[in-house]
Chain A
């Protein structure tokens, strides 16, 4: 069964693992064992739930998008409103969980990587909430693309470090965070933002995000026919999918960005500590990616997704920048909801999927974040 994965060594089928320099292995072992203990401690669970309820604003609504449904004249479309979670995206589910774990482990300094800035903001938020020091690595190019998020992080007391190495985007910010951690793991907790990286991160991030799908199950009268979510590293999608992985009647679609489609256009390799699909040259160099959405601009993907692809459990598709922008505008006009550009990729797939289905069928789309951060960028297009 899919929900039983990973195995004890952190493998989802052949994907995952812990491909890191020896310096980090003990830190990951310590983290895995601390997480295992926390997971089985009712007090930790109660703590996470407390902040989810009273601080994040969970459960987030499941909204029936009536005008969008009418527009496509097909399946009933529901939106899981992660954009209404505190800080405006699903990322906070994970950072609350990880920062509470850090506190339990007695680590007072938190480091994080960020692409669009949503994970950085969510980490800065959790750190402010819990009184922890916060350092966020962000590709220099992204600090310009997402200047507002940089300001938000600073406002909450985080230090933002622009990363100048490599392509100056998310993958390089991740390298830099890992390099920091190699030197600092004794007192520093690395709060990774997606279901990527070495074991136990893909599992831990998935577990914290799986609240999304669990809530959907309770909010739907019957099982949904389709789940749709965007996939960069893949945390909001695995958060929505996980609950339903062992319900074979629920079909799932992961939507990748045109210029950053590791599952569709890449092949398996090792990046950031895990064996998974990635975009690489024929000699194994990691390729630069290009997506209008900074949050999907990543050459790798979580190992669990690689396994779900190879097993045929989830269908992965591709949406271009242009299609995503059209969906961004469409949802704003038809529903009065401005989606994050990342989430707009998931919305864009509805054009192909919804009209094929009939009104007795349902689609749940994860609206992973709100689009305020993207308005400035879209305005000029």
Chain B
């Protein structure tokens, strides 16, 4: 069992997303420790990209603020983080950054520095999943995904399955989509891998509701760009809400 799947054992996993290098790598490092302390089980590090397709205004803006941060910088950061924390780290990034870095080298280096999983939102599995074996490849399922594809993605995803809660981009929403329980049930037909729900979850109430439906909750836009003390307090409130 990978470190990522372990994070789902005996509890609902809280997965928090921040953009690496926003506004600088020093802050990102401190944020990771703070997230862990506040109760996050997995940290997703977004690698900034100039044209982040699936993101709403909040995360887009954070990417533009952090744009000078390269993949090399993030690998160095993870290496540094690994001296102090074992919290599972997932990189979330645009396929072009991987292509430019070299896909094979990317997975080798990711594993070497201690990255646990990779999410490449614009690389659906039929376009070829990366070659790395020591790093989990987390695939996404969306409300629009057909049954046939759900089966394929559920089979190929490792670590956990990222269930996109809504058809659209990241960012706050008033309500959690109504169709989520049915969607989770559909996925369950094909796999017992952990399912985490992300996109549009921005407060403890929504997090608690999502945790009831699935195995984990992913929160990003509500954290990104916020000052450290506020992040710590907010993540604690999320932890509390999903453990209740």
State which residues 260-298 of A face B: CB under 8 Å: 268-273, 275, 278, 280, 282-286
Our pick among B99, B100, B169 for the contact of A183 (Cβ within 8 Å) is B169
Interface size classification for chain B: 35 or more
Interface CB pairs A-B, < 8 A, 26? A19-B124, A21-B142, A22-B124, A22-B142, A22-B145, A25-B144, A26-B145, A166-B51, A172-B51, A175-B53, A179-B54, A182-B167, A183-B167, A269-B96, A270-B95, A270-B96, A271-B51, A272-B51, A272-B53, A273-B122, A283-B70, A283-B71, A284-B49, A285-B50, A286-B50, A286-B51
Q: Within 8 Å of chain A (Cβ to Cβ): is B219?
A: no
The total of chain A residues at the interface (CB under 8 A) is 39
By beta carbon, the residue of chain A nearest B70 is A283
Q: A165–B51 Cα gap in the complex (Å)?
A: 9
> Apart from A21-B164, A175-B53, what 7 extra A-B contacts exist at CB < 8 Å?
A19-B123, A19-B124, A21-B121, A171-B51, A271-B51, A273-B122, A282-B100
Q: A183–B199 Cα gap in the complex (Å)?
A: 12
- Say yes or no: A182 contacts B97, CB within 8 Å: no
Our pick among B49, B60, B164 for the contact of A23 (Cβ within 8 Å) is B164
Q: Within 8 Å of chain B (Cβ to Cβ): is A27?
A: yes
- Say yes or no: A165 contacts B153, CB within 8 Å: no
- Say yes or no: B144 contacts A185, CB within 8 Å: yes
Q: A18-B127, A19-B122 are in contact. Are A183 and B168 (CB under 8 A)?
A: yes
Q: A18–B239 Cα gap in the complex (Å)?
A: 37
Min Cβ gap A212→B in Å is 30
User: Which residues of B have CB within 8 Å of A258?
Assistant: none
Q: Within 8 Å of chain B (Cβ to Cβ): is A20?
A: yes
B143-184, CB under 8 A of A: which get 1 and which 0? Answer: 111100100010000000000101111000000000000000
User: Which residues of B have CB within 8 Å of A22?
Assistant: 121, 124, 139-142, 144-145, 149, 153, 164
B96-137, CB under 8 A of A: which get 1 and which 0? Answer: 110111000000000000000000011110110000000000
User: Which residues of A have CB within 8 Å of B71?
Assistant: 283-284
User: Which residues of A have CB within 8 Å of B49?
Assistant: 284-285
Q: A182-B54, A284-B101 are in contact. Are A21 and B149 (CB under 8 A)?
A: no
Q: A165–B126 Cα gap in the complex (Å)?
A: 30
User: Which residues of A have CB within 8 Å of B146?
Assistant: 26, 29
- Say yes or no: B169 contacts A270, CB within 8 Å: no
By beta carbon, the residue of chain B nearest A25 is B124
Q: Within 8 Å of chain B (Cβ to Cβ): is A178?
A: yes
Q: Within 8 Å of chain A (Cβ to Cβ): is B94?
A: yes
- Say yes or no: A17 contacts B54, CB within 8 Å: no
- Say yes or no: B168 contacts A182, CB within 8 Å: yes
Residues of B within 8 A of A (CB): 49-51, 53-54, 56-57, 60, 64, 67, 70-72, 94-97, 99-101, 121-124, 126-127, 139-146, 149, 153, 164, 166-169
Q: A269-B96, A271-B96, A280-B96 are in contact. Are A23 and B53 (CB under 8 A)?
A: no
Residues of A within 8 A of B (CB): 9, 17-27, 29, 165-166, 171-172, 175, 178-179, 182-186, 268-273, 275, 278, 280, 282-286
Q: A18-B124, A166-B50, A175-B53 are in contact. Are A23 and B167 (CB under 8 A)?
A: yes
- Say yes or no: B53 contacts A26, CB within 8 Å: no
Q: A280–B99 Cα gap in the complex (Å)?
A: 12
- Say yes or no: A179 contacts B127, CB within 8 Å: no
Q: A170–B67 Cα gap in the complex (Å)?
A: 20
- Say yes or no: A20 contacts B97, CB within 8 Å: no
Min Cβ gap B233→A in Å is 30
Min Cβ gap B67→A in Å is 6
- Say yes or no: B142 contacts A284, CB within 8 Å: no
Min Cβ gap B198→A in Å is 12
User: Which residues of A have CB within 8 Å of B101?
Assistant: 283-284
Min Cβ gap A190→B in Å is 13
User: Which residues of A have CB within 8 Å of B70?
Assistant: 283
Min Cβ gap A205→B in Å is 20
Q: A9–B127 Cα gap in the complex (Å)?
A: 9
Min Cβ gap B153→A in Å is 7
User: Which residues of A have CB within 8 Å of B149?
Assistant: 22, 25-26
Nearest 10 A/B pairs, CB to CB: A284-B100, A183-B168, A23-B142, A283-B70, A270-B96, A22-B140, A284-B97, A286-B50, A285-B50, A21-B54
Our pick among B51, B53, B145 for the contact of A25 (Cβ within 8 Å) is B145
Min Cβ gap A187→B in Å is 11
By beta carbon, the residue of chain A nearest B153 is A22
Min Cβ gap A15→B in Å is 12
Residue among A166, A178, A182 with the highest chain B CB neighbour number at 10 A: A182
User: Which residues of B have CB within 8 Å of A29?
Assistant: 146
